């Protein structure tokens, strides 16, 4: 039973480009959470999704950031027109139900040059 899979592990984008980060939850998990971690800092909640629904996006920046979790396929975190300040590690976690253990992926490290 594979864990939470994130890809790519490393992503380099120039300012103004788009970044697409993918997260495949653990088998049987339908709840996905995205977190951002800046260097030497903690994990900041961004968004919580269930299949085809955004449940809580209170941590998402109002502009340029969007997330989806379609019926088929991985969850996608999309960052449009990236800026240097978007450079961070982005972690995805999944759980089988709300309010149960969440398991994290290895993260995608985004570098904006």
Partner 1 sequence: QQQVKQSPQSLIVQKGGISIINCAYENTAFDYFPWYQQFPGKGPALLIAIRPDVSEKKEGRFTISFNKSAKQFSLHIMDSQPGDSATYFCAARGTDKLIFGTGTRLQVFP
Binding positions for partner 1, rule: CB under 8 A: 4, 33, 35, 41-45, 48, 55-56, 91, 93, 98-99, 101-107
Structure tokens at 31: 């709840």
Chain centroid to CA 52: 15
Q: Which is nearer to partner 1, 83 or 98 (CB)?
A: 98
- Strand 10-13 versus strand 108-112 pairing type: parallel
Q: How far is the CB of 57 from partner 1 (least distance, A)?
A: 11
Q: How far is the CB of 16 from partner 1 (least distance, A)?
A: 28
Do the Cβ atoms of 89 and 106 come closer than 8 Å?
no
Q: Which is nearer to partner 1, 50 or 80 (CB)?
A: 50
């Amino acid at each position: 039973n594979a864990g939470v899979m994130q890809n790519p592990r490393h992503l380099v984008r120039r300012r103004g480009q788009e970044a697409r980060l993918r997260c495949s939850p653990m088998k049987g998990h339908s709840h996905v959470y995205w977190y951002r971690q800046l260097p030497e800092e903690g994990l900041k909640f961004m968004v919580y999704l269930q299949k085809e629904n955004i449940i809580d996006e209170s941590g998402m920046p109002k502009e340029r950031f969007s997330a989806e979790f379609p019926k088929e396929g991985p969850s996608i975190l999309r960052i449009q027109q990236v800026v240097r300040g978007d450079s961070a590690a982005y972690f995805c976690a999944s759980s089988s139900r709300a309010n149960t253990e969440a398991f994290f992926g290895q993260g995608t490290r985004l570098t904006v040059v």
